[in-house]
């Protein structure tokens, strides 16, 4: 049940009666943010929770935004990390709605042969031709992650950038790493399988961004701005390389690796990094939840039509990726904690995405709220999933 509705009662977009959270809920959220900011190696923390109808809005920030000790603010932009996968999926699906691409088409339909040939070779057989756009969106391609997977006896690209130096990695270089240094984890899965294997891989979404470039014939920042950022009025959200959007921006929060500030502009540019604020992310999630992003309601339904649960991590790369009990649809995650992990207390499901630097943006349909935040720490990818149940508990008896 929701909290005592004796404060004010509003009507959500779905028509359900929604009480504004009581003062004790606000106190709990403030306390959670204080606790979050006090964790070891957390230099900055920002969080926002809003109702879908905007009758309730809470946000807070703690810590310092950079190595010069500038205070973190509610409107300080930050690198959203893999939340950009959700936005990329939205762009792909909007292009699908417009008839520009077919989700079931092989990726070779949209990408050049010299890029995709040999990306997925198992037992001497090149199975790249079996990989479709849908495989990439659902992480069922079996492709290794050029960012996180380690070549035999070596370091991952992520580790080398953090420990050694900033570097740019083009899609062509990423493909070379996949072909020459790494091996696929499993064959491309049958799309009709009841329980397909799933492995989270940055390679899947790097290829999707390549497909978007190929289909539109435009620079990626321009496409994201024209299809998502501008229509929604996300004035504090931009992609690296968008000079029109970057001019005059407040400097984004520093990304940290432990106590080391990461200055990696080349790497972020080659990752097509997106920066945003908690308020813009909540606005994006609200638009997704209320049907403003797509021309047809069934498009958002398609994103959630089939959930596949990640397994338990079995290697260092998988340990940094989503794992049980998180599920994946098409570019979107779902977390529904089993009662065994909540003291046999039911907590509602959340839908959205998180990122490896401790970023998150989720919808909770049962509570009619959107939740976003960031701690900007390279080792904090699992933190949102420890925090989300506690945020939800602030709204549920």
- pLDDT, tens digit (0-9, with 9 covering 90-100), for 296-330: 999 999 999 999 999 988 888 888 888 889 999 99
18 pLDDT exceeds 50?
Answer: no
Alpha carbons 114 and 125: distance in angstroms, whole number? 17
Q: Where in the chain does DSSP place strands (E)?
A: 9-11, 17-19, 44-51, 57-63, 78-79, 121-122, 125-126, 238-239, 255-257, 260-262, 274-276, 308-309, 327-328, 333-335, 350-355, 359-364, 369-374
**Residue range 370-375: mean pLDDT, rounded:** 98
How many angstroms separate the CA atoms of 344 and 322, rounded? Answer: 23
- C-alpha span between 136 and 304 (Å, rounded): 15
Q: Would you call 325 helix, strand, or coil by DSSP?
A: coil
pLDDT at position 12 is 38
- pLDDT of residue 331 exceeding 70: yes
Mean pLDDT, rounded, for 15-39: 81
pLDDT reported for residue 162: 87
Q: What is the pLDDT of residue 140?
A: 98
User: DSSP class of residue 370?
Assistant: E
pLDDT given at position 14: 40
What value does the mean pLDDT take over residues 12-25?
57
| Sequence-separated (6 or more) residues with CB below 8 Å from residue 387 | 32, 36, 360, 373
Is residue 324 left, alpha or beta, with left meaning phi > 0 and alpha meaning psi from -120 to 50? beta
Is residue 374 within 8 Å of residue 353, measured between CB atoms?
no
Give the Cα-Cα-Cα angle 276, 87, 267 (nearest 5 degrees): 65
Of 121, 113, 92, 91, residue with least CA distance to 104: 92
Examine the pLDDT at 397 and tell me if it is beyond 70: no
**237-255 residue pLDDT tens:** 999 999 877 778 889 999 9
pLDDT of residue 342: 63
pLDDT of residue 318: 81
Q: Is the pLDDT of residue 5 over 80?
A: no
Rounded to an integer, the average pLDDT of 212-232 is: 97
Q: Is the pLDDT of residue 9 over 70?
A: no
Mean pLDDT over 109-120 rounds to: 97
What pLDDT digit, counting tens, does each position of 262-285 carry? 999 999 999 999 999 999 999 999
What percent of the chain is modeled with pLDDT above 90? Answer: 78
What's the pTM? 0.93
Q: What is the mean predicted confidence (pLDDT) over 18-47?
A: 88
Q: Which residue has the higher pLDDT, 322 or 357?
A: 357
Comparison of pLDDT for 139 and 340, the residue scoring more: 139
pLDDT of 197-208, one tens digit each? 999 999 999 999
């Amino acid at each position: 049940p929701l909290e005592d509705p004796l404060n004010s009662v509003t009507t959500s977009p779905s028509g359900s009666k929604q009480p504004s959270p009581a003062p004790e809920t606000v106190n709990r959220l403030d306390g959670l943010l204080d606790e979050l900011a006090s964790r070891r190696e957390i230099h900055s923390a920002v969080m926002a929770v809003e109702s879908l109808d905007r009758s309730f809005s809470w946000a807070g920030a703690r810590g310092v935004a950079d190595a010069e000790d500038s205070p973190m603010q509610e409107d300080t932009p930050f690198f959203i990390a893999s939340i950009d996968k959700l936005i990329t999926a939205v762009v792909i699906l909007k292009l699908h709605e417009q008839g520009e691409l077919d989700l079931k088409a092989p990726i070779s339909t949209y990408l050049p042969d010299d890029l995709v040939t040999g990306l997925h070779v198992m037992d001497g057989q090149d199975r790249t031709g079996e990989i479709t756009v849908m495989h990439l969106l659902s992480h069922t391609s079996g492709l290794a992650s050029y960012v996180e997977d380690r070549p035999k006896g070596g370091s991952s690209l992520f580790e080398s950038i953090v420990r050694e130096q900033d570097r740019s990695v083009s899609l062509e270089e990423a493909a070379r790493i996949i072909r020459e240094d790494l091996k696929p984890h499993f064959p491309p899965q049958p799309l009709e399988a009841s329980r397909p294997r799933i492995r989270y891989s940055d390679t899947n979404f790097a290829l999707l961004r390549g497909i978007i470039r190929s289909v539109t014939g435009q620079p990626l920042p321009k496409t994201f701005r024209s299809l998502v950022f501008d229509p929604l009025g996300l004035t504090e959200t931009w992609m690296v390389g968008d000079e029109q959007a970057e001019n005059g921006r407040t400097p984004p929060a520093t990304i940290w690796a432990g106590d080391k500030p990461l200055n990696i502009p080349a790497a972020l540019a080659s990752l097509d990094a997106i920066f945003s604020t908690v308020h813009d992310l909540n606005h994006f999630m609200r638009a997704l939840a209320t049907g403003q992003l797509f021309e047809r309601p069934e498009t958002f339904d398609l994103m959630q039509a089939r959930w596949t649960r990640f397994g338990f991590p079995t290697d260092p790369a998988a340990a940094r990726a989503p794992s049980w009990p998180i599920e994946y649809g098409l570019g979107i995650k779902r977390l529904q904690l089993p009662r065994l992990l909540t003291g046999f207390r039911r907590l509602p499901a959340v839908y959205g995405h998180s990122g490896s630097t401790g970023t998150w943006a989720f919808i909770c349909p049962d509570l009619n709220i959107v939740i976003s935040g960031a701690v900007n720490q390279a080792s904090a990818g699992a933190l949102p999933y420890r925090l989300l149940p506690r945020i939800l508990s602030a709204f549920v008896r």
